[in-house]
Structure 1
């Protein structure tokens, strides 16, 4: 603990005393019941983070006005007294572990979705909260005053329900933000135009909340310090705005961005740890109040330095606490090497909630609600488990089986484990993905009943020698190479110019040393991997082109990555060719077909990234041989079909179900 004396110092703000400086910021979950009530799984989710010794947990935004103020598919509500008992149960549970609890109160305004709320959204003006969003209607003055009162009523419920503080959301394209930002606010009355007028609604909300909760109850104000959009508020603008909002705000929660710059709100993968701390420092230096900073913070050394340098008073770890509920306790107990760090993929969290209206999940943590509860279960007799393949799915299966008491053996034909995740992390912009295989390897090393054989291809004889009760096949995937003229002859040829994605991986260090300025690079395939290749070469000043059969790029990307890709393509002036098919591969050009016309695309380097397909060599023989011996064989991960890491990891944890099936748990 002395190693991180700033992280583990207390902080008193009015009548709230925090035991450390780590904050779980508000993040939507889609866990609430359909009527906006909190439920047991929802409480369990937050309880895990309190058990992990998080100092302050700010519950996700709750609606102060229903249906107009609601933004989630299933969102917590606090617009009626009937929601207070459930929220009180939540605060009781969190307080048991010494965590302080706040809750964010919010009105979504134009960010509400008409199909969810059953009517037209409202806002400061008639400007959608994002490109392609619904057109809202401007609020009348009497409606504004009514919403102000609803904020106050909600804050009083927050206090009675046992929370230690209340946070007002004034950022991220929600209603108060829609008044503050000149991008949204086109009003000509006393709520629009000048900075004073645009802050009037927010000022009234803060005053309403303070009147409701009294002088000693802490009020947090969250806002977008820089909107990162042309014509939007800059940090300098926000510092002026806060002059009007400063009174009665006790903690400034300094965030960033709007819906159309979401990659700077829910940080894209290549933004460095703590990149936003300069914003909180600017706010702290001007107003001399406690500030919270956030932004891809994974490393406790980074968190400690931000605090020590006076750039913030509190460190918010969002997705990192979804991935690792025990972040604080592990750091406190010297277990930094066992942190399950967030890889910034945004697939199960933002991708599920914002893009797909599903409950949040996590790529690297297959159970974010019950966490390690499965470890309480143990096998009832000697059980041997053989795992074939050392990618993330296979490693998760092997570790889980060993943690349940199985004697577990993993075969990997390569000289190392980690699979495709380890390869993808070779891209400089995707280095965080490497956190996960590193964590799994460390986890495996701590399990005495797990043996890993590298440079070893599994076969029936080797498996049989281990007397398996359960065999898990996790042999992954390989590049999809369709029967296109010239592809087989040219791809991966020594000294050639055409490669698959694995060719990129094997030559990344070589490419990093080259001067690629002006080199022509053509990538076939506009999925996640193809776009990673484009980004890599574009950043190195190559002249890049991308070809995709579908009418859009990145069809299956999460909403954050899509926004980041859009920005990247524009920044580097990438030549984008959608609705375009590859018809022939030559040693220095691709022939493609677009609008019924054949076009030749010359290149210095050409890459075929048409996705991946399952690799199941030997699986049928293993299933047949061991099936006759009544040994259960399960196939998981990309060897079922090529998907995302999150799918294979979940199936790896589901080895529990296979052990149940054979009756050993």
Structure 2
């Protein structure tokens, strides 16, 4: 622990003392009941993070003005006293593990969740949508603003009465207070618009009303977008000046960034470095040295967290999605188990995209159980059980380690020299290197298990399987690039001095794809894989990059953060886009593409065909036959079932526990039956 001592230094803020410097920031979950109360799963989710050692847990964005201020399909509420008892029970659970608690109170304004507005028009500072393409809100009247202020004060008082140690006011991320602070949203000409002092007036009134409600000894945190990272929005220097109008009554400055239209810098995209946003908190700390600051931004490693504290860039470290992925982050760091940290990939698929874009409960690519975590390990198998896993990608590794952790004897076969499969291969792209963190974690986890044997460079055969006589077979053989029968494609891919490649060619021979300057690149396929290739070449100085997609838009199935980030790249590097266009034939140095009946030739120095992936399960028919003949259970998972993302494979892999449970139950029932027969005979 000594090398990370700064993380574990206690910190007292008025009457709240934190046992360490790690903060779980507010992150929406869509776990609440539809009436705004806690669900059992939601309480369990937070309990895991408290149990994991987190110093301060901030309850997600809670509605203080229903329905106009609501945000999310299933959001917690505290707009009247009936919610206090549930919030009190939440605090009892968190405090039992030594965690302090805060709650973020918020009015969504123009970002209000549309399906919950009961047909009403959202409200804001002005008639400006909170995101391009969103409905236009109506400006709040001056008389209505006093009710908004009262909502915040009443919410803060309820937080105090419910047993929270702190309250956080949300003044960023395109919510109502942010809509008044930002010149992008606020076009008012009254005393609440125009100059910075006027734009800060509502936030100032809210902060002062909250302080009056909770008294002088109760900590108040303020979260805000230090730099909106949009042309015409507040810059960091603008925000530093604006803070002076309401900072006096605030104890903690939670320094975030961005608005809805720069969301990839609020919910950080994958290739942003650890702690990238810390220069903002340092600037806030320098301007307001008597205030405590919180920084965030892809912080995963304890070394980085320690550096940020020791260098004075922040007093507290917010680890958001990292605690979704690894609720025991603090305890593992304190116990010297850094090698077992399940680090967030910043893929934003199960968390941000599920909640914001799809109105689903959050999930996690690398953590298949957000509610119960490792509870399964306390229920080992009661019978000797053998399992064979075919394929050492992320799905196969997750199934193998999970089964071994409950006492199953597992052997895994991987045909390649390395583990991790397609995830490890994609991670060879510089902007996707974080994906390898999951593979590393899985390998480290596997090394801890004596009852898990891994064979690399070994393609499993039916003879291998028969020799092991398994009770369960898991097939996780992954996927291969989809290469449809397009005229000239196969011929070009088989040439010696070719210029046409698949994604597998790039990933498995990166050393031969290092020339960028002067290169004209054409990519066929505007999904995740094709856009990864565009990103790789466009950001490294290719002369011209072109992308072709059959559908009406690029990245149709991408999560919203990655899509927004990719569209930023397309615009920034002037990528030529051809949508509703179809590859007709492939030549030596050009693709023939059809759009609305017109054929266009697209010349290239390098052409990439990235039309997705297809399931690859060469042994499945034989495995199914073997399973039937020998009474063996078989579980086909991940891309070998249907080519998808890592998240689906991880969750299916964890479902091996259900397969094991069925096997255990059948054996138990058989044992009871045999015992009954013996009793009858006797």
TM-score category (smaller protein): over 0.9
C-alpha contact 2:264 2:565 (8 A) present in aligned 1: yes
C-alpha contact 1:39 1:86 (8 A) present in aligned 2: no
Q: Deviations over 1:592-617 (max 9, x none)?
A: 10121001111110000000000010
1:260 paired residue number = 261
1:358 paired residue number = 360
2:186 paired residue number = 185
1:66 paired residue number = 66
1:76-475 matches, within 5 Å, as 76-118=76-118, 119-288=120-289, 289-475=291-477
Q: How has the CA–CA distance of structure 1 residues 328 and 492 changed in structure 2, closer, same or farther, with 3 Å as cutoff? A: farther
For 2:624 and 2:44, how far apart are their aligned partners in 1?
39
Offset of 1:113 from its aligned partner?
Answer: 3.1
SS at 2:60 equivalent: strand
Match of 1:484 among 486, 502, 512: 486
2:607 paired residue number = 606
For 1:357 and 1:493, how far apart are their aligned partners in 2?
48
Q: Structure 2: which 5+ runs fail to align?
A: 669-682
Offset of 1:640 from its aligned partner?
Answer: 0.8
2:675 paired residue number = none
C-alpha contact 1:492 1:503 (8 A) present in aligned 2: no
Q: Deviations over 1:568-622 (max 9, x none)?
A: 1011100011100001011211111012100111111000000000001021011
Offset of 1:305 from its aligned partner?
Answer: 0.5
C-alpha contact 1:492 1:499 (8 A) present in aligned 2: no
For 1:141 and 1:32, how far apart are their aligned partners in 2?
33
1:54 paired residue number = 54
Task: Work out whether 1:504 is the aligned partner of 2:493.
Answer: no
Structure-1-length-normalised TM-score: 0.99
Offset of 1:492 from its aligned partner?
Answer: 5.3
C-alpha contact 1:537 1:544 (8 A) present in aligned 2: yes
1:551 paired residue number = 552
For 1:31 and 1:493, how far apart are their aligned partners in 2?
54
SS at 2:433 equivalent: helix
Greater mean alpha carbon deviation, residues 157-166 or residues 627-636 = 627-636
1:631-642 matches, within 5 Å, as 631-642=632-643
C-alpha contact 1:492 1:500 (8 A) present in aligned 2: no
Q: Deviations over 1:87-135 (max 9, x none)?
A: 1000000001110000000000000133321111000000000000111
For 1:145 and 1:210, how far apart are their aligned partners in 2?
16
C-alpha contact 1:252 1:292 (8 A) present in aligned 2: yes
SS at 1:641 equivalent: coil
C-alpha contact 1:492 1:498 (8 A) present in aligned 2: no
Offset of 1:455 from its aligned partner?
Answer: 0.9
Task: Work out whether 1:517 is the aligned partner of 2:517.
Answer: yes
SS at 1:104 equivalent: strand
Offset of 1:360 from its aligned partner?
Answer: 0.2
SS at 1:465 equivalent: helix
Task: Work out whether 1:531 is the aligned partner of 2:518.
Answer: no
SS at 1:582 equivalent: strand
Offset of 1:518 from its aligned partner?
Answer: 2.2
For 1:492 and 1:77, how far apart are their aligned partners in 2?
61
Offset of 1:39 from its aligned partner?
Answer: 2.0
Structure-2-length-normalised TM-score: 0.96
For 2:600 and 2:418, how far apart are their aligned partners in 1?
42
C-alpha contact 2:383 2:664 (8 A) present in aligned 1: no
Offset of 1:280 from its aligned partner?
Answer: 0.2
For 2:588 and 2:298, how far apart are their aligned partners in 1?
42
C-alpha contact 1:59 1:101 (8 A) present in aligned 2: yes
For 2:169 and 2:312, how far apart are their aligned partners in 1?
24
Q: Structure 1: which 5+ runs fail to align?
A: none
Q: CA RMSD in A?
A: 0.9
Offset of 1:391 from its aligned partner?
Answer: 0.5
Offset of 1:510 from its aligned partner?
Answer: 3.1
For 2:230 and 2:391, how far apart are their aligned partners in 1?
45
2:21 paired residue number = 21
For 2:497 and 2:313, how far apart are their aligned partners in 1?
51
Offset of 1:660 from its aligned partner?
Answer: 1.7
